[in-house]
């Protein structure tokens, strides 16, 4: 184990983590030059298409330093705030971290958050400034700010260009010199911690593990301590970065175990895999709590079972994702899903479409509200359909978050405006380096889950960054806005909003529905109501058919009879007719929020 090093690369989004990992793969000859491509570890099509890392990616590299062979286990991590849980899991599997900062952008919100996470895990942190070859690089400013953040001399910071390969060798060798070898006892019975997993139709669930004690080989029995499951190892191996079978996995190493278990719920991230069912469980991971919820329904109702199976497989690969069945009259059977943020929700829905071929109807993401009724009983509301009658409610609460925004000073005024729009409360302002400001606010979570990040990027021309963490619940004046179409309540369009926004939201929804709903043979009223009181209304005019077109000349009474008959028919249709809302309408409404 003395010649083993486990480390991660952590950074804000787009600071060059995946490019740096590419250079390490080339330097260690892990990937032959003929097979090398940009962002090699970003294996998912979605990652390559979007240019971001979504999943952590482990890889084992071999390197000779001072005539000694070393094994280096690297984990490349995501940078977006919605995937913080991926970062926290990878940090628990290693002893060191390269903290990477973009010289053109300087320290960003996620840089600070990742540094705090690594510090809590007592990891050895190696700071590096990337993109020093760029004409826009502010090397001295970034170096000063980073040394202040880490409280270290500027000389300890590495200056690299991942794109050109400059100083990459020195940085990798610093990992060997500074990151401690893992601890563990090979003589003890086998114990390992699952930090990720993947489904394989032949080998069962493949658990990504960090071995703490002992060793394991193919054919041995294993026990999953917390889920009280057992299996037999079909294969063990390393990440090269594809699965590479090996004879065994030993204490201190990172690798995979093909468990042979086919039921997704039996293998959980954070569980302990051991050779004995009586082994002491390792400290797992704090279970992530979803903060954003959205409903998912298959466009084709016959795809419900396919959707259920697909969600189970995705949960294996993403422990922060939750789902449970729900049924709505308008949409049929589906699932209420929990996410860590709106980007997380977007990624899951795209993966369902790309990897499983599912076309879905997805509701607008919302947060979980807390209600206290007149008897002082407290309960959670996950969707508008759970909202009780307004008369029964004594008090409503909503989740709040602490957001940290780093912005160039020239955009300060615009940033303050958009935070004010979501009722943010300013906590602190700090100057960071020569021209950057750190703004710390407390805001209602519902204000930032949909569109806020894009808005922030837009008003700062892409230069601002943001990170957030959940604080807890606070009182809010919240009510349920209901939508009636032709006198029938359509629960799918209901919304929980602030009382002060009632008229604005009611008008917005009724006007949008008037645009997207198809015309009928009778006039269709669209009403926004609160506690039975109508606050906004639009009407879709009836479709007209020219019933007198076939008549050429003739008595006017004949024409009048036909018109009267049409009028009567429309009146009867209006009384009896039930509108069938096409799935496309739901898609359009959910898209626009």
Determine if residue 54 is left, alpha or beta; phi over 0 gives left, psi from -120 to 50 gives alpha, anything else beta.
alpha
Record: fold of 4-178: Rossmann fold (3.40.50)
Percent residues over pLDDT 90 in the chain: 19
Record: fold of 292-362: Alpha-Beta Plaits (3.30.70)
| Mean pLDDT, rounded, for 206-211 | 89
In the structure, what pLDDT confidence band is assigned to residue 183 with cuts at 50, 70 and 90? confident
- The pLDDT value recorded for residue 180 is 93
User: Of 69-73, 85-89, 495-499, 504-508, which gets the smallest average pLDDT?
Assistant: 85-89
Classify each residue of 142-166 as buried b or exposed e, where b means 16 or more C-beta atoms within 10 Å of its C-beta.
Answer: bbbbbbebeeeeeeebbbbbbbeeb
Q: Is the pLDDT of residue 542 over 80?
A: no
- The pLDDT value recorded for residue 546 is 54
User: Of 52-56, 201-205, 509-513, which gets the smallest average pLDDT?
Assistant: 52-56
| Mean pLDDT, rounded, for 228-244 | 88
Dist CA 206 CA 199 (whole Å): 6
Classify each residue of 278-295 as buried b or exposed e, where b means 16 or more C-beta atoms within 10 Å of its C-beta.
Answer: ebeebebbeebebbbbbb
Q: Which whole-number Å values give the CA distances from 232 to 222, 243, 336, 386, in the listed order? A: 6, 18, 34, 44
- The pLDDT value recorded for residue 132 is 92
| Mean pLDDT, rounded, for 480-498 | 85
- Angle of CA points 428, 429, 435, to nearest 5°: 165
Could you tell me which of 73, 33, 392 has the C-alpha nearest to residue 208?
73
Task: Give per-residue pLDDT as tens, 278-289.
Answer: 778 777 666 667
Phi and psi dihedrals of 504, rounded to 5? -65, -45
Dist CA 397 CA 479 (whole Å): 11
- The pLDDT value recorded for residue 46 is 47
Q: How many residues in the chain? A: 593
Q: Which helix (H) or strand (E) holds 428?
A: strand 425-432
| Mean pLDDT, rounded, for 357-377 | 84
User: Of 234-243, 244-253, 291-300, 568-577, which gets the smallest average pLDDT?
Assistant: 568-577
In the structure, what pLDDT confidence band is assigned to residue 570 with cuts at 50, 70 and 90? low
- Angle of CA points 55, 57, 62, to nearest 5°: 175
Helix 502-516 vs helix 583-592: crossing angle, to nearest 10: 140
| Mean pLDDT, rounded, for 212-226 | 89
Record: fold of 191-274: Elongation Factor Tu (Ef-tu); domain 3 (2.40.30)
Residue 497 burial (C-beta neighbours within 10 Å; 0-12, 13-18, 19+): buried
- The pLDDT value recorded for residue 285 is 61
292-362 and 370-475 share one fold = yes
How is residue 319 annotated by DSSP?
Answer: T
Q: Is the pLDDT of residue 381 over 70?
A: yes
Most confident of 24-33, 38-47, 531-540, 582-591: 531-540
Task: Give per-residue pLDDT as tens, 446-474.
Answer: 888 777 877 888 888 877 888 888 888 99
- The pLDDT value recorded for residue 48 is 46
CATH homologous superfamily, domain 479-592: Elongation factor 4, C-terminal domain (3.30.70.2570)
Dist CA 342 CA 103 (whole Å): 29
Residue 362 corresponds to which tokens in the numbers above?
A: 């997805």
CATH architecture of 370-475: 2-Layer Sandwich (3.30)
- The pLDDT value recorded for residue 196 is 81
Q: Is the pLDDT of residue 552 over 60?
A: no
Residues in Cβ contact with 241 at an 8 Å cutoff, skipping those fewer than 6 apart: 30, 40, 41, 43, 57, 58, 59
| Mean pLDDT, rounded, for 502-520 | 86
In the structure, what pLDDT confidence band is assigned to residue 326 with cuts at 50, 70 and 90? confident
| Mean pLDDT, rounded, for 480-484 | 89
Dist CA 242 CA 439 (whole Å): 42
In the structure, what pLDDT confidence band is assigned to residue 316 with cuts at 50, 70 and 90? confident
Q: Is the pLDDT of residue 6 over 90?
A: yes
- The verdict on pTM exceeding 0.75 is no
| Mean pLDDT, rounded, for 532-538 | 90
Helices (H) and strands (E) in the chain, counts: 13, 31
Q: Is the pLDDT of residue 179 over 90?
A: yes
Task: Give per-residue pLDDT as tens, 329-345.
Answer: 666 788 888 887 777 77
Domain ranges of the chain: 4-178, 191-274, 292-362, 370-475, 479-592
Residues in Cβ contact with 357 at an 8 Å cutoff, skipping those fewer than 6 apart: none
Is the CB of residue 295 less than 8 Å from the CB of residue 327?
no
């Amino acid at each position: 184990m003395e010649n083993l090093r486990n480390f991660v690369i952590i950074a804000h989004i787009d600071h060059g983590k995946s490019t740096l990992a590419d250079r390490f793969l080339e330097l260690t000859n892990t990937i032959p030059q003929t097979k090398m491509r940009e962002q090699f570890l970003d294996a998912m099509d979605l990652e390559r298409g979007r240019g971001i890392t979504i999943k952590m990616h482990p890889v084992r590299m071999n390197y000779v330093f001072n005539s000694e062979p070393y094994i280096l286990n690297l984990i490349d991590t995501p940078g977006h705030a919605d995937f913080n849980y991926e970062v926290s899991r990878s940090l628990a599997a290693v002893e060191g971290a390269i903290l990477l900062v973009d010289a053109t952008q300087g320290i960003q919100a996620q840089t600070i958050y990742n540094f705090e996470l690594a510090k809590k895990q007592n990891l050895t942190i190696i700071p590096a400034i990337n993109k020093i070859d760029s004409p826009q690089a502010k090397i001295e400013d970034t170096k000063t700010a980073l040394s202040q953040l880490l409280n270290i001399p500027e000389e300890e910071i590495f200056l690299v260009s991942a794109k050109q390969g400059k100083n990459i060798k020195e940085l990798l060798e610093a990992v060997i010199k500074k990151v401690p070898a893992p601890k563990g006892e090979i003589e003890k019975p086998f114990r390992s911690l699952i930090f990720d997993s993947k489904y394989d139709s032949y080998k069962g669930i493949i658990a990504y593990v960090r071995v703490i004690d002992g060793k394991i080989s193919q054919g041995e029995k294993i026990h999953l301590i917390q889920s009280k499951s057992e299996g037999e190892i079909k294969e063990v191996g390393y990440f090269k970065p594809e699965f590479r079978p090996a004879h065994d996995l030993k204490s201190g190493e990172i690798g995979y175990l093909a468990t042979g278990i086919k039921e997704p719920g039996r293998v959980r991230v954070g569980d302990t895999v051991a050779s004995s069912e009586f082994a002491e469980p390792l400290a797992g991971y704090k279970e992530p709590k979803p903060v954003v919820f959205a409903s998912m329904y298959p466009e084709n109702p016959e795809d419900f079972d396919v959707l259920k199976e697909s969600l189970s497989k995705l949960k294996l690969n993403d422990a922060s994702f939750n789902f449970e069945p729900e049924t709505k009259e308008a949409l049929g059977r589906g699932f209420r899903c929990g996410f860590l943020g709106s980007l997380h929700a977007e990624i899951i829905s795209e993966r369902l479409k790309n990897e499983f071929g599912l076309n879905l109807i997805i509701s607008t993401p919302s947060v979980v509200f807390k209600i206290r009724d007149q008897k002082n009983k407290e309960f959670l509301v996950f969707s508008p359909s759970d909202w009780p009658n307004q008369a029964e409610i004594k008090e409503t609460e909503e989740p709040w978050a602490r957001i940290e925004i780093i912005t160039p000073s020239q955009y300060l005024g615009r940033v303050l405006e958009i935070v004010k729009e979501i009722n943010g409360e300013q906590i602190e302002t700090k100057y960071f380096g020569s021209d950057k400001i750190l703004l710390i606010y407390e805001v209602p979570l519902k204000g930032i889950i949909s569109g806020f990040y894009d808005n922030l990027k837009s008003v700062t021309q892409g230069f601002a960054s943001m990170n957030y963490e959940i604080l807890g619940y606070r009182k809010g004046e919240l009510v349920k806005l209901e939508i009636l179409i032709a006198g029938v309540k359509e629960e799918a369009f209901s919304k929980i909003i602030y009382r002060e926004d009632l008229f604005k939201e009611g008008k917005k929804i009724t006007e949008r529905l008037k645009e997207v709903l198809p015309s009928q043979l009778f006039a269709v009223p669209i009403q926004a109501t609160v506690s039975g009181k109508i606050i906004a209304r639009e009407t879709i005019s009836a479709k007209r058919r020219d019933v007198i077109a076939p008549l050429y000349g003739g008595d006017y009474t004949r024409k009048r009879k036909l018109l009267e008959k049409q009028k009567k028919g429309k009146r009867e249709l209006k009384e009896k007719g039930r509108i069938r809302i096409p799935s496309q309408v739901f898609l359009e409404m959910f898209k626009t929020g």
